[in-house]
Amino acid sequence: MIRKAVIPAAGWGTRFLPATKAQPKEMLPVIDTPTIQYVVQEAVDSGIEDILIISGKGKRAIEDHFDRNRELEEILSEKEDNYWYQEIRRISEMANIHYIRQKELNGLGDAVNHAAQHVGNEPFAVLLGDTIIDSIIPVTQQLVDYYEQYKQTIVAVEEVPMEKVYRYGIIGGEKVSENFWRVNEMVEKPAVDKSPSNLAFAGRYILTPEIFKAIKDTNRGINNEIQLTDALRILNKREAIYACNIQGKRYDIGNKLDYLKTIVDFALKRPEFKEEFMTFLKEIIKKNM
Ligand code: G1P
Q: Name the percent of the chain lying above pLDDT 70.
A: 100
Calculate the CA 4 to chain-centre distance: 14
Distance (Å, whole) CA 143 – CA 31: 28
Q: 36 CA distance to ligand 1 centroid (A)? A: 16
- Ligand 1: does its nearest atom lie under 6 Å from the Cβ of 214? no
Cβ of 252 less than 6 Å from ligand 1 = yes
Query: Which of 102, 105, 128, 223 is the pocket-test mutation for ligand 1 (most atoms within 8 Å of CB)?
Result: 128
Say if ligand 1 is within 6 A of residue 188 CB: yes
User: Is the beta carbon of 221 within 6 A of some atom in ligand 1?
Assistant: no
Would the CB of 160 count as within 6 Å of ligand 1? no
pLDDT at 145: 97
> Which atom of ligand 1 has the smallest separation from the CA of 228?
8
CA 274-278-281 angle, to 5 degrees, is 140
Residue-averaged pLDDT of the chain: 96
Nearest to 186 by CA among 212, 222, 139, 213: 222
| Residue 107, phi-psi category: left (phi > 0), alpha (psi -120 to 50), beta (remainder) | left
pLDDT digits (tens, 9 = 90+) for 120-164: 999 999 999 999 999 999 999 999 999 999 999 999 999 999 999
Residues carrying CATH 3.90.550.10, the chain: 4-254
Which residues fall within 8 angstroms of residue 142, CB to CB, at 6 or more apart?
Answer: 135, 156, 244, 246, 247, 248
Q: Is the C-beta atom of 201 inside 6 A of ligand 1?
A: yes
- The pLDDT tens digits for 58-92 are 999 999 999 999 999 999 999 988 999 999 999 99
Atom of ligand 1 minimally distant from the CA of 131: 12
CA distance 203 to 168: 10
Evaluate: CB of 212 within 6 angstroms of ligand 1: no
DSSP-derived secondary structure letter, 289: -
For residue range 4-22, list pLDDT tens digits in order: 999 999 998 899 999 999 9
| Of residues 76, 56, 61, the one with CA closest to residue 11 | 56
208, 147 in Cβ contact below 8 A?
Answer: no
- Closest atom of ligand 1 relative to the 130 alpha carbon: 12
169 close to ligand 1 (CB < 6 Angstrom): yes
Q: Within 69-162, where are the H helices?
A: 70-77, 83-93, 108-113, 116-119, 139-150
Q: Does the pLDDT value for residue 213 go beyond 90? A: yes
**CB-CB contact of 263 with 257 (8 Å):** no
Asked if pLDDT for residue 289 goes beyond 90, the answer is no
Q: Of all residues in the chain, what percent carry a pLDDT higher than 90?
A: 97
pLDDT of residue 161: 96
Would you say 244 and 155 are in contact if contact means Cβ atoms under 8 Å apart? yes
Coil, helix or strand at residue 284: helix
d(CA 37, CA 287): 36
The closest-lying atom of ligand 1 relative to the alpha carbon of residue 108 is 8
Topology given in CATH for the domain delimited by 4-254: Spore Coat Polysaccharide Biosynthesis Protein SpsA; Chain A (3.90.550)
As a whole number of angstroms, the distance between CA 153 and CA 165 comes to 22
The whole-angstrom separation of Cα 159 and Cα 277 is 30
26 lines ligand 1 (CB under 6 A): no
Residue 158 near ligand 1, beta carbon < 6 Å: no
Instruction: State the closest ligand 1 atom to the C-alpha of 200, by its place in the atom list counted from 1.
Output: 10
Q: What is the pLDDT of residue 139?
A: 98
Protein residue with least CA distance to atom 13, ligand 1: 168
Distance CA(274)–CA(16), nearest Å, equals 27
Q: Residue 89: what pLDDT?
A: 97
Instruction: Kindly give the interhelix angle for 70-77 and 83-93, rounded to the nearest 10 degrees.
Output: 150
Model-level pTM?
0.96
Contact criterion met (CB below 8 Å) for 11 and 25? yes
What pLDDT, on a 0 to 100 scale, did the predictor assign at position 189? 97
